[in-house]
Structure 1
Amino acid sequence: MTKTKKVSKAINFSESQYYFNRELSWLEFNRRVLHESLDIRTPLLERLKFAAIFSSNLDEFFMVRVAIIKEQVAAELSRRTPDGLTPQEQLEAIYQQLRPMVIEQHRYFEKVLCPEMATHGIHLLNYIDTTPEQRSYLQQLFKKQIFPVLTPLAVDPSHPFPLMANLSLNLAVVVKAPDTGEEKFARVKVPNILPRFIPLPQELQIQNGKLNHWTGVSIEQVIAHNLDALFPGMIINEYHLFRLTRDADLEVAEQEADDLLLAIQQELRKRHFGGSVVRLEIQPSMPKSVRQMLIAEMALIESDVYEIDGLLNLKDLMSFMALPLPELKDPGWTGVIPPRLQHFHQKNKVANLSDEEKDIFSVIQQKDLLVHHPYESFSASVEQFIVQAAHDPHVLAIKMTLYRTSGDSEIVSSLIAAAENGKQVAVLVELKARFDEENNITWANKLEKSGVHVVYGLAGLKTHTKIVLVVRQEGDEIRRYVHVGTGNYNPKTAKLYTDVGLLSCREDLGADLTDLFNYLTGYSYQESYRKLLVSPINMRDRIIALIQREIEHSKNGKKGQIIAKMNSLVDPQIIATLYAASQAGVQIDLIVRGVCCLRPGVAEVSENIRIISIIGRFLEHSRIFHFYNDGQSEVYIGSADWMPRNLDRRVEAVIPVEDAEILQNLHNILEIMLADNRQAWEMQSDGSYIQRRPDQNEPERSSQNILMAMTQQLSSK
């Protein structure tokens, strides 16, 4: 129930007590990811997958966020975050909050998941527990396939401490000379070009007369138990596994770079070896002498060291998802073809269609089309839109942004084909898309060589918007078709991320996207748009104005309501405006998957704000913003979260949805998510989250399962 409070005194919303720390909030998000690995309701291999995602997320967190904070500490910066913490205080809080989570993850894997894997015929063995026959096989495999790849590196006065790659897994080996008894140190890198987990042949997987689904060992154990081949004549005293994480955030002085492509290529070479080490993972058995040497050589402090009891780098558990065991995974899902596009995807009916009925443009001409991935097929909708545009003789030009894409995408090959067909093709490739820089450089070069006009964005701004503009000659007229979405043009992630997009030929949207592309590719600085909210130009002001309009409605005795779905909510100005809206009686429901710095449920401040986070088989990635507007609802979709970087330092686009049916569909999606009692977590005023559970006699409501069922049902009508 909405609560309207009369505030007796003015509240300063800039006070630190009203904000959560961004980094600690992210750790809470990753805790929710970890919970999926711990939740017995999740199928076994999916639990391994979530353990892998938790570890992968942590790698990126250290490579970017922790690295930045450590740089601030080194520079003796003391500027406080909105929640009042200095860089040093943030580091200490991160370590304190994170260590118990890491311990819990590894303990659960060793004590629960491994035994449960074994009950299902998946045996990850310790080398010492292998049979003589299994060990003989592994020794032969080591000699033939692993030994030739290894390079032991000595550390002594004539051999300096070796440079080690980011995220590398290594063995610290202590050997002794048999004649002098002198101990020496060497490092052996575990090669990441070979599989992390080595399966045994079928004849060696039989246990109690039954063939297991998978039996094998980790590659580092095979190496560790065959070290004598690397150090012949030496005595192997001990070996200890360790893993390091480096600062991997690129620093490109764009204003000073003559060639942005070349500058980023040069920085990428530094990423693997050049960044300072920010985390060292070791096993508890490592003696103090070896530990101290590694700490000293990598310029670390004790708080940078994480002791891992068991298998290091659980990210590699993702490989077990390849096992052909559907009963241990979520039921398979293939995105359905949107109903309005089904007729020209059904080959047996295509022959009866006219040329006009066969193209996607005729469908869009009828009315706007909303697509919702992965529930609806990306390849049968957005990708089909671009493929048809590339080969349609009436299409004159194609313009689009590429933030992240994949190697097997038809989109890149279609753009190349379009250029070869004589169409004007312009593509903005964002070279600064973190950890996709190398892929994007590859596609940029490939596109450029084929005659596509490739631009690399604006200096000082990442281009994060997801837009396509197709210009088509139709009789005596030129018509512009657009796609504006919330997700990347990547067919792989489109099967895993939830995203929405709008296909339209509305003239105002076409004109806006034309102006936006001129801004991106030329010297235009368009300051006003007909419909689009564009960062960094007008989006911040427009969003605040939309919130303030709900405040005015509420103050005038009308209903005020906001429902907003996004990945992250960080921006202090927007948070303060939401607090003001809550005070005025506006009911605010926020669906924020990840970082959320707003504190809900604070008396006289945020009593009317409810925040949930949904963590499920699909990664919630769509951004949908609903404003009640006194019954004349306005709904926007687009690429931007409510973060300073999205509003001030990126090019983003958000569009209003005007079709009444699509408005209702988007509102229904939001309501289904707000009613979730299976994968939804409700944020508390102290920053913790409580997972919703069905009440007694209440059915379980998983929003993602419901949306799959609804989409399937609508598709079959």
Structure 2
Amino acid sequence: MNGVFFNRDVNWVEFNARVLQEGIRDDIPVLERVKFFAIFGSNFDEFFKVRVAALRRQWRRGDIKTCPSGMLPSEAVVAIENRARELYSLAYAELKSSLLPALEEKGISVVSPESVRSSLRASMESFFDERIFPILTPIGLDEDFPFINGELSYVYILFKDGKKALVRIPPSVDGVLCFFTEKKRSYHVFTEALVEFFCYKLFPGMEVEDSVVFRIVRDADLSVDEERDEDFIEAMEAVIEDREVSMPVALFIRGNNSSLVSDVISYVSLEEAAVFFAGCPVALSSLFSLYNVNRQDIKNEVWPALLPPEYDEELTIWDNIRRGDILFFHPYHSFLPVIRLVEDAAVDPCVLAIKMTLYRTSTNSPIVAALERAARNGKIVVAVVELKARFDEQRNIAWARRLERAGATVLYGIRNLKVHAKALMIIRNEDDGLRRYVHVSTGNYNENTAQFYSDIGIMTAREDLCTEMGLFFNMLTGYTAVNRLEKLAMAPVNLKERFIFLIDREIARKRDGENARIIAKLNSLVDRDIIESLYRASCEGVEIFLCVRGVCMLVPGVSGLSENISVISIVDRFLEHSRIFYFENGGEPEVFIASSDWMPRNLERRVELLVPVERSFAKKRIIDVLSFYFSDTSHAYCLDDSGSYERVEGVSNRRAQQLMYEYFRMVSDKGGRAGISDGVFNVRRSPSSS
């Protein structure tokens, strides 16, 4: 089937537009709006570093079509840059006209040095002299620019005598600084504005004529030499170093002096379309430090983390899991039991071995520290540490070295594949023999992101799943032949085939007059084979409901192709990260969770796991959660066949994430395993095109 497709990267830009829309809306707490502006900027930075850099490289190598949408790399870059320019203009306009005034009303004044009264300017100057001036380094320029780091912002200065200089904004300083507090008001300044205003102090006897602030975004889509087995860590470190000197892909600049602006543009050698004229701050991600202001009254209501009703704090972790599967929905549920599982295993004399995959961890990870302690306690510790986790490579290298020094067996992933599965297995010697305990999840073993990423995890001691998880780890660590897995599906072995089989089974059910329905919640839908299978299912009358947070190349609502497919996206206080798959199966629904999205990289170039959810209470609870997503009329956006997203509205204001928290709190209070779903999905789809 020749379907129609949205361009992957152009569609992603619309995801970031939805993030910005959350920052613009005035019905959420003002500091939460600040956070969305910061996320918007951070998202675009990474997108330019990776995806736009890759497209530019394809453009330089011949501009050959690779996207099923038929769009050339050059066309995609132009479309992206044009839309990004619109969104940045909107963001800076809203920041000035709406967000900063809203903060002002709440007692948070973000001011510029030139606009404040003299007493405040004196406080600002004292702050600069004591806290900023000592760590600045002026760089006089003769002719050429020195190397400009892609992670930093700079002030470019022109003096009255025609000389020029650079001052680097110190990376160790927060992007927004609180320099004065009085009564119920605090005063803040952007670090770059403070440095720019007082930079004359670095150049005694010279008079500043003009200045601009700028930053460069450089290509970070660099690959490692997979053949360097003996020096793989060294090869990864070389990749990290190369990012600092790679090709520029975008320039963000603030200032109105044409000669200074043209100097910078000339240095980076980028066409005009890749130059973005920014406001202050020149990096919107700087706003993260403003979000961290201690003002809970203008942030989201705190939702204290809950415990699943299956988990009893009075019991040992082993007794808890032996009683039956434990289902976690983070961050509604606390991540502490997961940490406890590894920490208890590290010191339990009955635990013989711990095997674990590590993709992204925190800087001071208690889980990795527990693995280190377990190894020092003489237990067998096997850690599959993925060194190719982009932007977390340095941290993972450091953890890998520490674990090796402690005596753990560390594997640096698999050649030409990323190990993206999230899995943990503990082998314990008990009275009735060896028993395995397993935790598997849709999210990383990172206690920090577990507080704002929405993920699902399962702890189990079920023999069937534990046996297959043992085979999975043997395949990872022993380079053994791929074993046949009955319960689990594994990429790149058979995961895509399993998904297509499940979709085709729904088609067969529909043809036989049985109930047929597919519901999927995931981060990205890019894989052509999966999309075309969904198109086939739609043409056969199978109802398909997709909740896709980010990229969706599938075009919904097209008559004769996808009129039975609807696509929504949820953007709210928690980042939707879980992957859930539901297949009606003629009235005997099957539910799965996975580490994988429907993307070629996940299905073909990564090690991923698909795990069935078979316990009735767990399956019912996940179905309840799916129904909340598709009834959202507060933070849901519906995708139409033109590629536009419109906010879903309804008579009642239903917010999926709030409904879920209230639901989990109710279930925890009841202390039972049952869900409450009536099996009805209040779903909405965009109208079919004629």
The TM-score by the shorter chain falls in which range?
A: over 0.9
Relative to structure 1, is the Cα distance of residues 24 and 265 closer, same or farther in structure 2, using a 3 angstrom cutoff?
same
User: 32, 35, 45: which one pairs with 1:59?
Assistant: 45
Match in the other structure for 1:222: 194
Match in the other structure for 1:300: 270
Secondary structure at 2:165 match in 1 = strand
Q: Is the Cα contact below 8 Å between 1:527 and 1:538 reproduced in 2? A: no
Matches within 5 A, 1:534-553: 534-553=490-509
Q: Is the Cα contact below 8 Å between 1:549 and 1:629 reproduced in 2? A: yes
Secondary structure at 1:613 match in 2 = strand
Relative to structure 1, is the Cα distance of residues 141 and 365 closer, same or farther in structure 2, using a 3 angstrom cutoff?
closer
Secondary structure at 2:276 match in 1 = strand
Unaligned 5+ segments in structure 2 are 671-690
Q: Which runs of 4+ in 1 moved over 6 A?
A: none
Match in the other structure for 1:638: 594
- Taking the aligned partners of 1:142 and 1:674, their CA distance within structure 2 comes to 51
User: 104, 109, 112: which one pairs with 1:123?
Assistant: 109
Relative to structure 1, is the Cα distance of residues 393 and 227 closer, same or farther in structure 2, using a 3 angstrom cutoff?
closer
1:416 aligns with 2:372: yes
Question: For structure 1, which segment, 54-63 or 144-153, has the greater mean C-alpha deviation from structure 2 after superposition?
Answer: 144-153
Amino acid at match of 1:564: A
1:73 aligns with 2:59: yes
User: 341, 354, 357: which one pairs with 1:398?
Assistant: 354
Aligned length: 670
User: 506, 513, 535: which one pairs with 2:469?
Assistant: 513
- Taking the aligned partners of 1:687 and 1:217, their CA distance within structure 2 comes to 39
Secondary structure at 1:481 match in 2 = strand
Amino acid at match of 1:60: E
Secondary structure at 1:501 match in 2 = strand
Question: For structure 1, which segment, 52-61 or 323-332, has the greater mean C-alpha deviation from structure 2 after superposition?
Answer: 323-332
Secondary structure at 2:227 match in 1 = helix
Match in the other structure for 1:703: 656
1:623 aligns with 2:579: yes
- Taking the aligned partners of 1:107 and 1:514, their CA distance within structure 2 comes to 55
Match in the other structure for 1:101: 87
- Taking the aligned partners of 2:316 and 2:123, their CA distance within structure 1 comes to 58
- Taking the aligned partners of 1:612 and 1:627, their CA distance within structure 2 comes to 18
Using the size of structure 2 for normalisation, the TM-score is 0.95
Amino acid at match of 1:34: L
Match in the other structure for 2:281: 311
Q: What do the CA deviations read for 1:115-164 (whole angstroms, capped 9, x no partner)?
A: 1111111111111122222222333333333222222222324xx31111
Q: Is the Cα contact below 8 Å between 1:34 and 1:51 reproduced in 2? A: yes
Match in the other structure for 1:190: 169
Match in the other structure for 2:331: 374
Match in the other structure for 2:684: none
Q: What do the CA deviations read for 1:191-210 (whole angstroms, capped 9, x no partner)?
A: 121232232333xx4xxxxx
- Taking the aligned partners of 1:56 and 1:642, their CA distance within structure 2 comes to 24
Match in the other structure for 1:135: 121
Amino acid at match of 2:480: S
Matches within 5 A, 1:428-507: 428-507=384-463
- Taking the aligned partners of 1:227 and 1:409, their CA distance within structure 2 comes to 39
What is the CA distance between 1:413 and its match in structure 2? 2.0
Q: Is the Cα contact below 8 Å between 2:16 and 2:40 reproduced in 1? A: yes
Q: Is the Cα contact below 8 Å between 2:591 and 2:613 reproduced in 1? A: yes
Using the size of structure 1 for normalisation, the TM-score is 0.91
Amino acid at match of 2:476: L
Q: What do the CA deviations read for 1:366-391 (whole angstroms, capped 9, x no partner)?
A: 22221111111111x22222222222
Q: Is the Cα contact below 8 Å between 2:190 and 2:280 reproduced in 1? A: no
- Taking the aligned partners of 2:615 and 2:174, their CA distance within structure 1 comes to 51
User: 145, 152, 160: which one pairs with 2:138?
Assistant: 152
1:200 aligns with 2:179: yes
Matches within 5 A, 1:303-342: 303-342=273-312
Q: Is the Cα contact below 8 Å between 2:127 and 2:179 reproduced in 1? A: no
Q: What do the CA deviations read for 1:11-45 (whole angstroms, capped 9, x no partner)?
A: x425xxx1001111111111111111011111100
What is the CA distance between 1:270 and its match in structure 2? 2.2
Amino acid at match of 2:646: I
Amino acid at match of 1:337: L
Question: For structure 1, which segment, 213-222 or 296-305, has the greater mean C-alpha deviation from structure 2 after superposition?
Answer: 213-222
What is the CA distance between 1:258 and its match in structure 2? 2.7
User: 75, 88, 113: which one pairs with 1:89?
Assistant: 75
Q: What do the CA deviations read for 1:336-394 (whole angstroms, capped 9, x no partner)?
A: 122222341xxxxxxxxxxxxx3222222222221111111111x22222222222222
User: 5, 13, 31: which one pairs with 2:2?
Assistant: 13
Secondary structure at 1:467 match in 2 = strand
1:275 aligns with 2:246: yes
User: 638, 641, 649: which one pairs with 1:693?
Assistant: 649
- Taking the aligned partners of 1:228 and 1:590, their CA distance within structure 2 comes to 56
CA RMSD of aligned residues (A): 1.5
Question: For structure 1, which segment, 676-685 or 49-58, has the greater mean C-alpha deviation from structure 2 after superposition?
Answer: 676-685
Matches within 5 A, 1:536-615: 536-615=492-571
Question: For structure 1, which segment, 505-514 or 563-572, has the greater mean C-alpha deviation from structure 2 after superposition?
Answer: 505-514
Q: What do the CA deviations read for 1:66-107 (whole angstroms, capped 9, x no partner)?
A: 111111112223124100011101111111222111100110
Q: Is the Cα contact below 8 Å between 2:176 and 2:290 reproduced in 1? A: no
Question: For structure 1, which segment, 467-476 or 221-230, has the greater mean C-alpha deviation from structure 2 after superposition?
Answer: 221-230
Q: Is the Cα contact below 8 Å between 2:596 and 2:609 reproduced in 1? A: yes
Relative to structure 1, is the Cα distance of residues 257 and 523 closer, same or farther in structure 2, using a 3 angstrom cutoff?
closer
Q: Is the Cα contact below 8 Å between 1:562 and 1:586 reproduced in 2? A: yes
- Taking the aligned partners of 1:280 and 1:343, their CA distance within structure 2 comes to 53
- Taking the aligned partners of 1:228 and 1:39, their CA distance within structure 2 comes to 39
User: 229, 252, 256: which one pairs with 2:224?
Assistant: 252
Unaligned 5+ segments in structure 1 are 1-11, 178-182, 206-210, 345-357
Amino acid at match of 1:715: S
> Could you say which structure has the larger radius of gyration?
1
Secondary structure at 1:340 match in 2 = coil
- Taking the aligned partners of 2:151 and 2:237, their CA distance within structure 1 comes to 20
- Taking the aligned partners of 1:258 and 1:603, their CA distance within structure 2 comes to 56
What is the CA distance between 1:712 and its match in structure 2? 1.5
Q: Is the Cα contact below 8 Å between 1:486 and 1:637 reproduced in 2? A: yes
Match in the other structure for 1:364: 321
1:656 aligns with 2:628: no
Q: What do the CA deviations read for 1:312-336 (whole angstroms, capped 9, x no partner)?
A: 2121112222223222111012211
What is the CA distance between 1:257 and its match in structure 2? 4.7
Amino acid at match of 1:286: N
Percent of matched pairs sharing the same residue: 40
User: 246, 256, 259: which one pairs with 1:285?
Assistant: 256
Q: Is the Cα contact below 8 Å between 1:106 and 1:311 reproduced in 2? A: no
Amino acid at match of 2:153: L
Q: Is the Cα contact below 8 Å between 1:593 and 1:614 reproduced in 2? A: yes
- Taking the aligned partners of 2:520 and 2:27, their CA distance within structure 1 comes to 29
- Taking the aligned partners of 1:236 and 1:186, their CA distance within structure 2 comes to 10
Secondary structure at 1:96 match in 2 = helix
Amino acid at match of 1:240: V
Match in the other structure for 2:632: 676
- Taking the aligned partners of 1:185 and 1:603, their CA distance within structure 2 comes to 62
What is the CA distance between 1:165 and its match in structure 2? 1.1
1:243 aligns with 2:200: no
Amino acid at match of 1:644: P
Q: Is the Cα contact below 8 Å between 1:527 and 1:537 reproduced in 2? A: no
Q: What do the CA deviations read for 1:461-510 (whole angstroms, capped 9, x no partner)?
A: 01000001111222242221111110001111111011111111122212
Q: Is the Cα contact below 8 Å between 1:255 and 1:460 reproduced in 2? A: no
- Taking the aligned partners of 2:118 and 2:607, their CA distance within structure 1 comes to 61
